[in-house]
Amino acid sequence: MESSRRTVRIGLAGVGVVGQGLVRFLEAQPDFAPAGGRAVITGVSAKDRSRPRQVSLDGFAWFDDPVALALSDDNDVFVELIGGSEGPARLAVEAALGRGKSVITANKALLANHGAELAALAERTGAALLFEAAVMGGTPAVKMLREGLVGDAVTRVAGILNGTCNFILSDMETTERSFADVLADAQAEGFAEADPTTDIGGFDAGHKIALLGALAFGAAPNFAGVEVVGIDQIELLDIRLARDLGFRIKLIAEAYKVGDLASVSVAPALVPLAHPLAQAGGVLNALFIEGQRIGRIFLQGPGAGAGPTAAAVAADIADLMTGAVRPVFQRPARDLTPLQPADPALRRTAVYIRLMVADRPGVIAAVTDALARAGLSIDSFLQRSVQNTGLVPIVLTTQVASEDAIREAVGHIAALDAVVEPPRTIRIANI
């Protein structure tokens, strides 16, 4: 698309929170782009035309079918804010790219599952495919990896990529309430969906780290290769005990190279209280990027919301207005291969292990012996009394060991007669 003073016409599919934020932004500042020209919405599509909205759609052509909007000659750029890896979102994006029309999307699930095919389609037809809004809302994580660090070799990306989970874990700690109670409040306040599985199950963060890993390492996204563990099993007791040990529990998404392979995962992890990731509370997102030449970069900002995410979409529109065209995932599509996952059993990590044991002599010695048989060493140990129950919570942290050794040790401990419920293990973040 040539840089000029002409008007760029936007077809917008999806007029939810972010879509309405984009409508407000472009109505207020159609000439925002530094390259000049104007960006205006000419057509919209959504599931329900009559749904109450905070913006008026009266001045835009209405399309019941987003594919028809994507194929319309009355817009130059297709913006997809529908969501979902299949169905209307995928069909509409494929239709626009197949027509040679540039696409801007916030759809991390679509790209994490079908990014390589969409990148190849875009290159065949000469269209651009941009997705700054798909990760960390208005915080420019995608642009940093896609543009700012192309002169470096990125070795690791790790951080907090889901605001809902971060809000729940932060609120559990500050209010001393259970996971279920905090989740219910988050749903009532709009921080969590009615069906929160995608967020609390870790899948949303999994989609995002699949994209960041692909950008970091010049590969095709491979969501199937992402190890995903959510926060739904985190109890208030774990948050209290972790804090007593000098840690805070966060849902950490991480991707790093292991030779020619990559370890890409999402899981709860203990982060030292003084660490910047532990300081990112509420709905904030935060990310470390490590490179061989530049060292470590830290980004923090809102990961969702109408204003920040609409600003990220607008940044992509501005890029299109300059005529800039880059490979979708750092390399031409023909050179992309999916990130191949390293064997998780080979991962080395320290862990937090929490036990509920019968209050009787010899228990600690038995636990220590079980750890020794698997070759694990204790780094710290904490015991708390629970009055009138006959049970005692014991928590320990280990020194760094292989996942196989940790699994063996936990198996030995679980088999002890004094252990009354399955041991709870949480990684200690190596960041």
Pairing of strands 247-258, 261-272: antiparallel
Q: Does the annotation mark 208 as catalytic? A: yes
Sequence-distant (6+) residues with CB within 8 A of 360 are 418
d(CA 96, CA 61): 17
* Chain mean position to CA 353: 26
For the record, the structure tokens of 13 come out as: 């599919």
CATH of the domain spanning 143-302, picked from 3.30.230.10, 3.40.50.970, 3.90.230.10, 3.30.360.10: 3.30.360.10
Higher pLDDT, 44 or 358: 44
Lowest mean pLDDT: which of 115-124, 234-243, 265-274, 297-306?
297-306
Read off the pLDDT band of 3 (50, 70, 90).
Answer: very low
Q: What is the pLDDT of residue 86?
A: 93
Pairing of strands 284-291, 295-302: antiparallel
Read off the pLDDT band of 172 (50, 70, 90).
Answer: very high
The H-or-E segment that residue 163 falls in is: helix 163-175
Judge whether residue 332 has pLDDT over 60.
Answer: yes
DSSP state letter for 329: B
Higher pLDDT, 270 or 6: 270
Q: What is the pLDDT of residue 385?
A: 67
- Closest among 46, 58, 35 to 11, alpha carbons compared: 46
Q: What is the pLDDT of residue 387?
A: 58
Report pLDDT digits (tens) over 174-219.
Answer: 999 999 999 998 888 777 777 889 999 999 999 999 999 999 998 9
Start and end residues for every CATH 3.30.70.260 domain found in the chain: 344-428
d(CA 36, CA 81): 25
For the record, the structure tokens of 69 come out as: 């909007």
- Measured between its terminal Cα atoms, the distance across the chain in Å is 41
Start and end residues for every CATH 3.30.360.10 domain found in the chain: 143-302
Q: Exposed, middle or buried: residue 390 (CB in 10 Å: 0-12, 13-18, 19+)?
A: exposed
In the chain, DSSP finds a helix count (H) and a strand count (E) of: 14, 17
The angle that helices 306-322 and 17-28 make with each other, rounded to 10 degrees, is 60
Start and end residues for every CATH 3.40.50.720 domain found in the chain: 7-138+309-333
What would the mean pLDDT of 31-47 be, rounded to a whole number? Answer: 91
Question: Annotated catalytic residue: which of 101, 108, 208, 250?
Answer: 208
Assigned fold of 344-428? Alpha-Beta Plaits (3.30.70)
Amino acid (one-letter) located at 178: S
| 262, 236 contact by CB (below 8 A) | no
d(CA 391, CA 265): 34
Class of domain 7-138+309-333: alpha beta
| 288, 159 contact by CB (below 8 A) | yes
